[in-house]
């Protein structure tokens, strides 16, 4: 359900960008790092939206890749813990003896 909602919002946003771009059809001067030129505002808007989407998708992909790698590592760690024999909790004999000695001393 979450994927469908995301898709509907993305589609709605794309339609709004397209309508906004079609309304603005005038030529504008675009200044680049190495010069300037004339381009229709429609192309400038659509190109900017496309580049923004690509950059967002790239960052999202990197984050998803890192999370998938972390999940895989945690699953391996969990399977190792599940396959390991259970560890019994034991106390050292010296600790138990000192506890007994302390209780004997307190009673006297």
**pTM score, two decimals?**
0.58
Tell me the DSSP string of 36-102.
EEEEEHHHHHHHHHHHHHHHHHHHHHHHHHHHHHHHHHHHHHHHHHHHSPPPP----HHHHHHHHHH
Q: What is the pLDDT of residues 14-37, one digit of tens each?
A: 888 888 888 888 898 988 888 899
Average pLDDT, the chain: 82
Per-residue pLDDT of the chain (108 residues; tens, 9 = 90+): 777 888 888 889 888 888 888 888 889 898 888 889 999 888 888 898 899 989 999 999 999 999 999 999 999 999 888 887 776 666 655 555 555 555 555 565
């Amino acid at each position: 359900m979450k994927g469908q909602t995301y898709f509907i919002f993305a589609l709605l946003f794309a339609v709004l960008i397209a309508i906004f771009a079609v309304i603005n059809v005038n030529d504008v001067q675009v200044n680049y790092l190495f010069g300037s030129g004339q381009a229709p505002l429609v192309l400038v808007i659509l190109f900017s939206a496309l580049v923004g989407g690509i950059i967002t998708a790239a960052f999202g992909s990197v984050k998803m890749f890192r999370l998938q790698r972390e999940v895989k590592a945690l699953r391996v760690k969990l399977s190792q813990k599940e396959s390991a024999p259970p560890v019994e909790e034991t106390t050292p004999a010296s600790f138990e003896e000192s506890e007994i000695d302390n209780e004997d001393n307190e009673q006297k």
